[in-house]
Amino acid sequence: MAHGSALGVVKEQLATARVITVLTGAGISADSGVPTFRGTDGLWRNYRAEDLATPEAFARDPRLVWEWYNWRRELIATKQPNDAHKTIVELEHHYPEFWLITQNVDGLHRDAGSRKLSEIHGNIWKVRCTGCGVVEDNRDVPIDRLPFCPHCTALLRPHIVWFGESLLAEDLTQCSTALQRCDILLVIGTSGIVYPAAGFASVAKAAGAFVAEINLAPTPQSALVDVSLQGRAKDLVPLLLEPS
C-alpha cells in the first residue's frame, strides 16, 4: 500500500472511531533528541543501562545509580515535546474515550499536556520512598546523589520499573481495558520487542480494533497490523489530523 493511501486509510478510520488508544515508545522521544539509554546510547562510564537499572544495582551502590539518573535527568531537562506529542494531546481532546500508554519515562507526554495516560515504565521526574512508599514529583536538576524522604527519612529511589521488576497491577489493568475497548490502536515509535507492550497490538487486534503502526523501520509487529507507516513520528503523526 502506498504511503499516501495508507495514511488516508488511517484517517478514514479515525473519522468514524469513538474509542482511541495510543501506544508510544522511544521513537517518539528520539524525535525530541532524547537518547534511548540502551545500547550505545546508554553507555555511561562504561556501564550499560541493563547493569544499572536493577534493584540489585541500587541495593549494592545507590549513589552510583542516582548519579546515572541525575545524568539522564540533566539530558532530558533540555528536551521539549515535539509535534507528535502535541498531536496526541489533540487526539485526547477530540475523543472523549481516549487512553495513552507510553513506555517512555522522560515525562514529555505530560509536559505536552497529556492527562489520560499510563506511564507503564514509570517517570524519571518522580521519586518513590523505599521506606513509606510515597511517590512524589521531583524536578530537581541536579538531584542529590542520595536523596532522602522528607516524610520518613528513608532513601528515595527513581520511580522507574527496573529490569526484573513487574509493571504495576493498576497500570496493567488500565492498559488491558484500553486495548480491549478501543476502535483504533495507534502504535507509535516502538520496536515491538519489549514485553508486555510488544503484545499489546495482538490484544487490540484480537478484540476487533483497527491497528496502525508508525515507526522509522518495519518491526516484528508490521505483519500483524492493518497499516504500517514508515517515517519519523514528528512528521507523520501530525498528518493524522490534517483535513483530507
Q: Which amino acid type is present at position 162?
A: W
Of 206, 234, 203, 222, the residue nearest 6 (C-alpha): 222
Which residue reads 515491538 in cell numbers?
192
Using omega within 30 degrees of 0 as the cis cutoff, is the peptide bond preceding 158 cis? no
Of 147, 109, 60, the residue nearest 233 (C-alpha): 109
How long, in residues, is the chain? 244
Using omega within 30 degrees of 0 as the cis cutoff, is the peptide bond preceding 243 cis? no
The residue annotated as part of the active site, out of 109, 121, 151, 159, is: 121
242 CB-side CA count, 13 A: 11
Specify whether 3 is catalytic: no
Which three cell numbers mark 153? 527519612
Q: Tell me the catalytic residues.
A: 121
